[in-house]
Amino acid sequence: MALALLIVGAMMIVQEPNIVDCNAFTAQCPVAFNTLLDTTAASKTAEEKAIFASQRANTENEVQSYCSCLSSCMNYFLVYGNNKTSTDKYNCFAKSVLAGAKGNSAPSNDASTGSNSLLGVTGQGTCSSCEEISGNEHKIFRALGGLALFCALALAVSATCEVKGVKMRNKCFSLCTLSTDVLVILLLAVATGIAAMGFAASQIACDPDKLSRELSKAGDASADSKDDGAAFYVFLVDLLSPLASGMCGQGKKFAIFALSSFVALVFTKLTVLATICICCKCTKDGSDKHDHNAKELQKLMYESDSDVE
């Protein structure tokens, strides 16, 4: 078990996730946004196109400002969906209008019209930047790797004490060995839970229908017509699909880790329960005169207490 945990722990630390390249995201955004503006301009009248063209000549900085805002608050359409006129610096609705997109002020955070989350990793509570989303995934991998390596070391020490007979020297050594295994159980339970949640989040990111619903809602919230909303949806899909793919790709690692830590958890728990049962004499272990290990363990637990008395 210690070796298995050592391997999966090293895997989580060495093979850290590459969720999204935030620099590439920021560089791609202005190009994609200008494509969006071209698409929305195609349906305008000749007079509207002339006005729109004259406005676009002076919006290059605004487009870049919107893209920087989007990178800083990738879930802005959730955070500010019911307050689109907010003057907060992370309210990208206002910046998208300045950049040339014709938005609307209608509240959009209505659970009945779609999902109020983005890829299952961020909601409408607070802004999440590209760096934060990518960095949080790295922190989770390092934390899981660290937990696995610590548990592997603890199990190796516990097994060595068992094989070398150290835990049979006195009651203190026996209790320390048992306490080490109990600590490992608690840490493995935490690690298994985190890995299971990571796997669940990756499966949400793998769901194209859910991503489509989320971004379709965001597109409608960012435009004043269905056609422009559809164009905004395509813009968001182009930008956020790599993020979804990156998160989806981590599912296998989370599954391997969760399975390995769960097996180690069950194994260690059974070992602890067996030791406790022997100490409490709730099994027949120790009743056989040839069962020396059980007899010695029970002797440590009970005779030392009678000596104190």
Residue 304: C-alpha distances to residues 32, 149, 161, 291, 297 (Å): 76, 35, 20, 20, 11
pLDDT at 46: 65
Give me the residue spans of the domains in the chain. Answer: 1-20+133-206+249-309
Residue 147 banded pLDDT, cuts 50, 70, 90: very high
Residue count of the chain, please give it.
309
- Distance from the first to the final alpha carbon of the chain: 40
- Least confident stretch, 86-90, 174-178, 213-217, 286-290: 286-290
Q: What is the pLDDT of residues 176-231, one digit of tens each?
A: 777 888 899 999 999 999 999 989 888 888 888 888 888 888 888 888 888 888 88
CA angle 262-198-71, nearest 5°?
165
Q: What is the pLDDT of residues 23-41, one digit of tens each?
A: 888 889 999 988 888 887 7
Q: What is the SS3 string spanning 68-111?
A: HHHHHCCCHHHHCCCCCCCCCCCCHHHHHHHCCCCCCCCCCCCH
Helix, strand, coil % in the chain, rounded to nearest 5? 75, 0, 25
Q: Is pLDDT at 244 greater than 70 in this prediction?
A: yes
Give the whole-number percent of the chain exceeding pLDDT 70: 75
What average pLDDT does this structure show over 242-256? Answer: 88
Residue 274 banded pLDDT, cuts 50, 70, 90: confident
* 245: Cα separation from own chain's centroid: 14
